[in-house]
A = this chain, B = another copy of it.
Amino acid sequence: MTDCLSCIVRNRAICASLRPDELGLLGRMGRRQRVSSGHTLLWEGDDAPVVANVLDGVLKLVAATADGREQIVGIVFPSDFIGRPFGKESPYSVSAISEAELCIFHRDQFDEFAADHPDLQQKLLCRTLAELDRARRWMLLLGRKSAPEKVASFLLEMADRLSPPPSAADTARGFELPFGRQQIADILGLTIETTSRQLTKMRAVGLIDLPSRRKIVINDLAALNEMAG
């Protein structure tokens, strides 16, 4: 059922390390699943019985306090890997923030398969190391940057992560965020009001344009870099 050879993330996901025959084996373990926007796939604290590759769409990893404050601790794009291999419950919940399509595996089955396929495991290790680096750079932002610096850093990171797909044309000529204002706030550790105010202020001084709710056009990349600290 799952045809890995024609998979849209075939060469970018961790599966890229596998030979066709291995791929067939893994493919039979996997199952495609659509997830609709807003739906939560894994709950914080619950046992996480599945892992998955993201084929399409965007998901968020969210940690929350007992009284409901939320912090987005990770953003997951197509070809990225979701879940917690090798035991343990998920320390954060995973929710789709757009229509998404996943390639899901039972965790135990996946763990077993991974143990027999060092190349796959190495790909996973490299990804996890990169993700850890990203998380740590984000800790600097959360702990030490001011609101303007946070928003500027966010726009730069998004320009970087969202540019490759939407045509190679003019990278600087705008991109569409997969987030609403509240989600940007949850990524930056701010309130929705401060986020909105900072964006408005940046538009007022001509740094950026906001042609629609989720569209961003960067006019002055250098100044934005400066502003990001």
In the complex, the answer to whether A189 meets B143 with C-beta atoms within 8 Å is yes
**A18 CB to nearest B CB, Å:** 15
Copies in the complex: 2
Question: Does chain B have a CB within 8 A of A70?
Answer: yes
Answer whether A142 and B145 are a contact pair too, CB < 8 Å, given A63-B137, A121-B122, A122-B121: no
- Which residues A163-215 have CB closer than 8 A to chain B? 188-189
Q: How many Å lie between the Cα of A143 and that of B188 in the bound state?
A: 7
Chain B residues with Cβ below 8 Å from A125 are: 85-86, 121, 124-125, 128
Q: Which of A129, A131, A136, A149 has its CB near the most chain B CB atoms (within 10 A)?
A: A136
A1 touches B (CB below 8 Å): no
Please tell me if A140 contacts chain B, counting CB pairs below 8 Å.
yes
Cβ B65 vs Cβ A144 within 8 A: yes
Cβ–Cβ contact B144 & A143, under 8 A: no
Shortest CB distance A60–B (Å): 12
CA distance A122 to B121 in the complex (A): 7
**Inter-subunit contact A143/B229 (CB<8 Å):** no
Q: Chain B's nearest CB lies how many Å from the CB of A64?
A: 7
Q: With A118-B121, A144-B65, A229-B66 in contact, do A135 and B137 touch (Cβ < 8 Å)?
A: no
Instruction: Give the distance in Å from the alpha carbon of A136 to the alpha carbon of B135 in the complex.
Output: 7
What 1/0 mask marks residues of chain A from 84 to 115 whose CB sits below 8 Å from any chain B CB? 11101001100000000000000000000001
- 26 A-B pairs within 8 Å (CB atoms) are namely A63-B137, A63-B140, A65-B145, A66-B229, A67-B229, A71-B139, A71-B140, A71-B143, A73-B137, A73-B139, A73-B140, A74-B136, A84-B129, A84-B133, A86-B125, A86-B129, A115-B118, A124-B125, A125-B125, A125-B128, A128-B129, A131-B132, A135-B139, A142-B143, A142-B189, A143-B188
